[in-house]
Amino acid sequence: MELKKIIKEDVYEILKDFISLDNIIIEIPKTRELGDYAIPCFAFSKILRKSPQDIANMLKEKLNNELYEKVEVVNGYLNIFINKKILTEYIINKILTERNNYGNNNEGEGKNIVIDYSSPNIAKPFGVGHLRSTVIGNALKHICEKKGYKVISINHLGDWGTQFGKLIYAYKTWGDEKRIYENPIDELKNLYVRFHKEAENNPQLEDEGRKWFKKLEDGDPEALRLWKWFKEESLKEFTKTYDLLGINKFDAYHGEAFYNDKMEPIIAELDQKGLLEYSEGAYIVRLEGDIPPALVKRSDGATLYLTRDLAAAFYRKKNYNFAEALYVVGNEQTLHFNQLKLVIEKMGYEWSKDIKHISFGMILQDGKKMSTRQGKNVKLHDVLLETISLAKKYINERNPDLDNIDEVSRQIGVGAVIFNDLKNYRTSDIEFNLEEILKFEGETGPYLQYTYARINSLLEHKKNIDIDYKDLEINEYIWNLIFRLYNFPEIITKAKENYDPSEIAKYLIDLAQDFNKFYASEKIVDQDEKRTEMRLKICEIVAIVLEEGMRILGIEAPKKM
Ligand code: ARG
């Protein structure tokens, strides 16, 4: 039941000799007292040569649909009040039948979307810098799936490039096998840092690093063996972080190295199309306007980040025939993705338009970039553990007898981090404050989880007796909830259109607030069995949508907390 569409068509029926369907605009009034929907009649005034007020009055006379409980005319607006009983019964039945499929649709049926997200760099700590890409990408995956698309999630690991040549050189010169086994990521990072320190006084080292990367690209067995080992050790560490986050299902871990043997044909095609140019010791593709040329190959034959992304884009187009390819990567890579798109466009492929850089702002702590603290990289794993342990402390204070307190603490701690990351517009910077994100009140993950748990304990009183919707008195609290729930599918659509999970995060806060007002306004469970049962049905559909909304965001919903 698409209310806006129905209203539009009803109004159009009356005015069709004068206007087109697109002329009819439907607004949401500022307050519920002014109706659920409003139609401004000013634009019709000229054509009909009548005052907006007269037109609104005429529409009011002629509109005739049991879906409208009341129609009012105020200052040239036609205000429409939806029939509460009809919509309430419809929504309750719909959500109870569709359950977690509520809000699904088939817009994307038969179409593939590739989402490239998370993509941390091997031999470096999984820092908070990659948190946002991981959680935004994961939520977008669920959003696109709800719209019926088939999603292919790809972790484009940073596992190739000159830095690995440097690392191999550093390991061979100063490394210690045992220490790497004990503490791989930190040891590798130290070697990398040492390389750069020594290279300051000895620039020749840079050449050594490049040489080793060249060897790696050419398949030198020793270089390959070391690289593989570094990669395995790193992945073991990353997996622990992914497990904590509960985000660990990628369809492919195709890192940059995967494209090592897939770049040459593309470089050849660039050359054959006359796009490749040799300039200042490297092969480039010149781009229009003030966009710097794209660097695709160094004179020693070594390839670059962009070259691998070119190969990846072609590979993905060929293997997944995507309708859209999303790259969830921070703002600082805007130029890179512009160049990627433009090079493919210059090669003559119209699908370059389907490449979309989904950028996002930074995480700040006390107003400063959080990825480093006192010059040290902040590890995401440490942040998560810290949050989980504070969550545990809070739960112990509130509910010390809770079963599986460790698992619930993880769900709350991680939920807090994820929600904080998704509650603001994707492109804004976000502030990370441990105390704030874990509050049980306000715009937080724990607030949603707490509301959900509260509903679940109410639902224990459900008896599944038959009820008649005609007996349900719909007060303003219930009506706000019903209308909110009715809007859920539209929110999913908006989240997909803007590629922004914050649409859903904000919606869930509104829904939880609506629920808590309802909860505070009257006793939900009392002696009157039928009344109780009816109210519990409303609780149940709120729980279904809350749970599904949280699932989309990647937040788990414990039944008790
Ligand atoms: N590993 C890169 C980084 O950490 C992100 C990769 C994003 N994906 C891509 N296809 N370039 O900066």
Q: Which of 556, 553, 242, 558 is nearest to 423 (CA)?
A: 553
Phi, psi of 371 (to 5 degrees): -60, -20
User: What's the CA gap between 284 and 305, in Å, rounded?
Assistant: 13
3-82: CATH topology: Gyrase A; domain 2 (3.30.1360)
Alpha-carbon distances of 28 from 38, 40, 77, 229, 480, rounded to whole Å: 6, 11, 11, 59, 13
Q: Which of 2, 7, 21 is nearest to 59 (CA)?
A: 7
CA of 177 to the centre of ligand 1 (A): 28
207: its two tokens: 């050449």
Q: How many DSSP H helices and E strands does the chain contain?
A: 21, 15
Whether residue 357 has its Cβ less than 6 Å from ligand 1: no
User: What's the CA gap between 215 and 205, in Å, rounded?
Assistant: 15
Q: Which of 316, 310, 317, 304 is nearest to 339 (CA)?
A: 310
Hey, CA dihedral for 55, 58, 62, 63, is it positive or negative?
Answer: positive
User: What's the CA gap between 518 and 331, in Å, rounded?
Assistant: 41
Q: Which residue among 333, 334, 338, 339 has the greatest number of ligand 1 atoms within 8 angstroms of its CB, and so is best to mutate? A: 333
SS3 percent helix, strand, coil of the chain, rounded to 5, is 60, 10, 30
Q: Are 115 and 151 in contact (CB under 8 A)?
A: yes
Contacts for 545 with CB less than 8 Å, ≥ 6 apart: 95, 102, 103, 485, 488, 511
Whether residue 117 has its Cβ less than 6 Å from ligand 1: no
Whether residue 156 has its Cβ less than 6 Å from ligand 1: yes
- Nearest ligand 1 atom, CA 305: 11
DSSP state of 293: P
Bridge partners (DSSP) of residue 431 are: 364
DSSP state of 378: P
Q: What is the pTM of this model?
A: 0.95
Whether residue 127 has its Cβ less than 6 Å from ligand 1: no
Domain residue extents for the chain: 3-82, 161-251
CA of 398 to the centre of ligand 1 (A): 42
Pairing relationship of beta strands 355-358 and 363-365 according to DSSP bridges: unpaired
CA of 377 to the centre of ligand 1 (A): 18
User: What's the CA gap between 343 and 387, in Å, rounded?
Assistant: 43
Quote the pLDDT of residue 140: 98
SS3 for 351?
A: helix
The continuous run of DSSP H or E covering 288 comes out as none
Nearest-CA residue for ligand 1 atom 8 is 156
Q: Are 438 and 416 in contact (CB under 8 A)?
A: yes
CA of 118 to the centre of ligand 1 (A): 8
- Nearest ligand 1 atom, CA 333: 12
Q: Are 101 and 145 in contact (CB under 8 A)?
A: no
Nearest-CA residue for ligand 1 atom 1 is 158
The continuous run of DSSP H or E covering 473 comes out as none
Q: pLDDT, tens digit, for every residue of 320-378?
A: 999 999 999 999 999 999 999 999 999 999 999 999 999 999 999 988 888 777 667 78
User: What's the CA gap between 530 and 469, in Å, rounded?
Assistant: 10
Q: pLDDT, tens digit, for every residue of 229-261?
A: 999 999 999 999 999 999 988 999 999 999 999
Question: CA dihedral in degrees (127, 130, 132, 134; nearest 10)?
Answer: -120
Q: Are 420 and 353 in contact (CB under 8 A)?
A: no
Whether residue 309 has its Cβ less than 6 Å from ligand 1: yes
Q: Are 82 and 190 in contact (CB under 8 A)?
A: no
The continuous run of DSSP H or E covering 1 comes out as none
* HSE, side-chain direction, 13 A CA sphere, residue 28: 5
Per-residue confidence in pLDDT tens, the chain, 561 aa: 899 999 999 999 999 999 999 999 999 999 989 999 999 999 999 999 999 999 999 999 999 999 999 999 999 999 999 999 999 999 999 999 999 999 999 999 999 999 999 999 998 889 898 999 999 999 999 999 999 999 999 999 999 988 999 999 999 999 999 999 888 888 998 999 999 999 999 999 999 999 999 999 899 999 999 999 999 999 999 999 999 999 988 999 999 999 999 999 999 999 999 999 999 989 999 999 999 999 999 888 888 999 999 999 999 999 999 999 999 999 999 999 999 999 999 999 999 999 999 999 999 998 888 877 766 778 999 999 999 999 999 999 999 999 999 999 999 999 999 999 999 999 999 999 999 999 999 999 999 999 999 999 999 999 988 888 877 889 999 999 999 999 999 999 999 999 999 999 999 999 999 999 999 999 999 999 999 999 999 999 999 999 999 999 999 999 999
SS3 for 243?
A: helix
Q: Which of 151, 153, 146, 152 is nearest to 107 (CA)?
A: 146
Using only C-alpha atoms, the chain has a radius of gyration, in whole angstroms, of 29
- Nearest ligand 1 atom, CA 158: 1
